[in-house]
Amino acid sequence: MSSYSHTVDGNTWRFDSLREVMAKASPARSGDYLAGVAAGSDVERVAAQMCLAEIPLKRFLDEALIPYEQDEVTRLIIDGHDRAAFAPVSHLTVGGFRDWLLGEAANETSLRALAPGLTPEMAAAVSKIMRVQDLVLVAQKIRVVTRFRNTQGLRGRMSTRLQPNHPTDEPAGIAASILDGLLYGNGDAMLGINPASDSIAAISEMLRMLDGIIQRYEIPTQACVLTHVTTSIEAINRGVPLDLVFQSIAGTEAANASFGINLGILQEGYEAGLSLARGSLGNNLMYFETGQGSALSAGAHHGVDQQTCETRAYAVARHFKPFLVNTVVGFIGPEYLYNGKQIIRAGLEDHFCGKLLGLPMGCDICYTNHAEADQDDMDTLLTLFGVAGINFIMGIPGSDDVMLNYQTTSFHDALYARQTMGLKPAPEFEAWLQRMDILRQHDGRLELGRQLPAPFRKALEQLA
């Protein structure tokens, strides 16, 4: 293991490993202080960033932050590395790579080809020396397109996950939220429920309900109940109509073990989902959620900073060709991301790193009620994401999830972003919205229809 150093104003700062350079180069966040890996001062942080900028990208192939022998995620990263794809940037330092990404050589085509040649640690490293505008500029160059029943990730489009959670999984409450969301043009990424119960009977009932809604109204979207992957496998074995296979994932083998998973279990879930062949346009069917701080909260971070651990989770996701990946950025709490500033920075880092690695990234733009953040911070991050080309965001009644008790983005927030930045839903879903007269084009802008569609009037009468 190598040591590294950099001199600032006549003082030489030494770092005992690449892992330490990475941790101390990270922008300040509460989780790294909690872990005891953060820089002790702003000067030390700058010294680490300058040191990191001088490190060759190739170094990340020679010095694993978590030993190869101890961690299956490290083995996945190293064994799956595409050296031919890496070749165009293999001569660069981290700082040189930043310059390359900001230049004209980095475009949609070259960045798509480069993705298999990058390791998560390379992506995390370059993000640590980038400004907010750099993260936005490079991310908007990248488009990661996936397909199941509609097409996600096309330029000029932004989708939403309609999240109709209910504290008791009450079907009428869930249906009311779905109807409300559809009337605002939400739901093209998926109809996705966080269940209050994880029993196979309850999960199966919700999956059948969602499938019934999609089939009845011929909605070109997909459904997901966010249960453990092993429960999804059991539902598939029982013949339950399941579209997307969900799992929370992390960036170390030990952190994934705390979720009750490993790569083998994820592979089993992936293959089970493929066996149903329910996608009409494509077979991207995994839905993963991540979040900075998950490895530390499980005591499984190996001394690696939380943003690098997060980016390593994207290697796990990439292996299974997912339909959507969602960084739930502020959900874990202020112990890991203390305030709005840290949440905004972390969200942009996650989005940038995920897309750079070839993932269809979305974000739950959120915060818990005990964080030093508010809805103004979320509006700021939402707007930045719209410019940066995010694949999807959350749509929840009134921004307030009554089951999970956190604050996120609402149905009308998605409409704001689409109207302000000229963004559209997924093309197949947009056509359905116009056919139902839910959204219409007016002077190049999407506007809400003036009347409740007849099929929904009947549904509303039934709910009443």
Q: Read off the pLDDT of residues 390-448 as tens digits, 9 standing for 90 and up.
A: 999 999 999 988 888 899 999 999 999 999 999 999 999 999 999 999 988 777 677 78
Rounded alpha-carbon distances, angstroms, from residue 445 to 220, 355, 424 = 22, 27, 9
Tens digit of each residue's pLDDT (9 = 90 or more) over 58-98: 999 999 999 999 999 999 999 999 999 999 999 999 999 99
Residue 446 pairs with which residues in a beta bridge? 441
463 has a pLDDT exceeding 90 = no
Counting residues of the chain whose pLDDT is more than 90, the rounded percentage is 90
451 has a pLDDT exceeding 80 = no
CA dihedral 266, 267, 268, 269 (to 10 degrees): 50
User: What whole-number distance in Å separates Cα of residue 354 and Cα of residue 234?
Assistant: 30
450 has a pLDDT exceeding 90 = no
Predicted pLDDT of residue 1: 63
Counting residues of the chain whose pLDDT is more than 70, the rounded percentage is 99
Tell me the mean pLDDT in the region 344-359. Answer: 98
Q: Where are the alpha helices (DSSP H) in 56-191?
A: 59-62, 72-79, 83-86, 94-102, 108-114, 120-128, 132-141, 171-183
Tens digit of each residue's pLDDT (9 = 90 or more) over 230-282: 999 999 999 999 999 999 999 999 999 999 999 999 999 999 999 999 999 99
Beta strand extents in 291-343 (DSSP E only) = 324-328
313 has a pLDDT exceeding 70 = yes
461 has a pLDDT exceeding 80 = no
Predicted pLDDT of residue 464: 63
Q: Measured on CA atoms in the order 294, 32, 64, 45, is the torsion positive or negative?
A: positive
Beta strand extents in 298-383 (DSSP E only) = 324-328, 361-364
